[in-house]
């Protein structure tokens, strides 16, 4: 049998490689550490990119209610994404937010859930009318290139498209840091550290 491909097979192979090209193109990574003064506000922090053009496929994220807390405390999503709110406590919980378009998902019992799709960008306070001590945040960015910090202030934003962007920090109305202009190169890692102050 001849090892030569037919013209049709060659065209199909070339088309497949072209279609797979963008999926294989590596983005860059932005990582670093955020410090906050006072440190008690550090958990309320998201590092994100502003105004990245293009569209993204909507995703579904999860925020749990466990141990009488919202887990994670801060969740970063993109406009058009959906958050599924879970309840793994033995008591009923409610989820509502007065921010943005505002919503109230009602109350739901252990192992039940309720979902909400975020249509507008911004920070949404997550509250429980049954347990007013509970507090969490959903940060909705214009794009999916955002990350909440971990307990030590570290963050990492993956698969960032190459280009020059504005890197910003959200910490509610508590602490601030100037935006940074960053240039991302495909397949490369970039380190940016922030110091948040009043």
What does the longest C-alpha to C-alpha distance in the chain come to? 75
Q: What is the pLDDT of residue 26?
A: 82
Give the pair of three-digit tokens for residue 54. Answer: 């293009």
Q: What is the pLDDT of residue 9?
A: 43
Question: What is the number of domains present in the chain?
Answer: 1
Q: For the CA atoms of the chain, what is the radius of gyration?
A: 21
Sign of CA dihedral 154, 70, 77, 57: positive
pLDDT, averaged across the chain: 90
80 CB burial (10 A radius; 0-12, 13-18, 19+): middle
Q: What is the pLDDT of residue 12?
A: 39
Residue 119 placed within a domain: yes
Asked whether residue 139 carries a pLDDT value surpassing 90, the answer given is: yes
Residue 31 placed within a domain: yes
Question: Around Cβ 59, how many Cβ atoms within 10 Å?
Answer: 12
Q: What is the pLDDT of residue 11?
A: 39
Residue 75 placed within a domain: yes
pLDDT digits (tens, 9 = 90+) for 38-47: 999 999 999 9
Residue 38 placed within a domain: yes
**Where residue 10 falls among pLDDT bands split at 50, 70, 90?**
very low
Q: What is the pLDDT of residue 25?
A: 52
Give CA torsion, residues 145, 78, 61, 99, to 10 deg.
Answer: 130
CA distance 126 to 132: 10
Residue 88 placed within a domain: yes
Lowest average pLDDT, out of 22-26, 155-159, 168-172, goes to: 22-26
Does residue 103 contact residue 39 with C-beta atoms inside 8 Å? no
Residue 5 placed within a domain: no
Mean pLDDT of 119-130: 97
pLDDT > 90 in the chain, percent: 86
Q: What is the pLDDT of residue 5?
A: 45
Q: Find the CATH number of the domain harbouring 113.
A: 2.60.40.420
Residue 12 placed within a domain: no
DSSP state of 167: E
Domain span at residue 63 reads: 26-196
For residue 159, what is the enclosing H or E element? strand 154-160
155 CB burial (10 A radius; 0-12, 13-18, 19+): buried
Residue 69 placed within a domain: yes
Q: What is the pLDDT of residue 92?
A: 97
pLDDT digits (tens, 9 = 90+) for 39-82: 999 999 999 999 999 999 999 999 999 999 999 999 999 999 99
Q: Please indicate whether residue 21 or residue 195 has the higher confidence score (pLDDT).
A: 195
- Return the closest-CA partner of residue 127 out of 119, 137, 117, 118: 137
């Amino acid at each position: 049998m001849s090892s030569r491909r037919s013209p049709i097979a060659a065209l199909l192979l070339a088309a497949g490689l072209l279609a797979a090209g963008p999926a294989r193109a590596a983005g860059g990574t932005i990582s670093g550490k955020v410090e906050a003064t006072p440190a008690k506000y550090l958990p309320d922090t998201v590092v994100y990119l502003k105004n990245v053009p293009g569209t993204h496929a909507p995703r579904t994220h999860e925020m749990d209610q466990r141990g009488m807390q919202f887990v994670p405390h801060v969740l970063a999503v993109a406009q058009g994404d959906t958050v599924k709110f879970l309840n793994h406590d033995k008591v009923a919980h409610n989820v509502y937010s007065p921010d943005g378009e505002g919503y109230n998902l009602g109350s739901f019992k252990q192992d039940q859930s309720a979902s909400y799709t975020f249509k507008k960008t911004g920070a949404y306070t997550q509250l429980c009318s049954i347990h007013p001590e509970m507090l969490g945040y959903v940060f909705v960015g214009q794009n999916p290139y955002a990350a909440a910090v971990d307990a030590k202030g570290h963050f990492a934003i993956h698969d960032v498209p190459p280009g020059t962007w504005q890197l910003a920090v959200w910490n509610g109305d508590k602490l601030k840091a100037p935006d940074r202009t960053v240039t991302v190169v495909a397949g490369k890692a970039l380190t940016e550290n922030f110091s948040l102050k009043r």
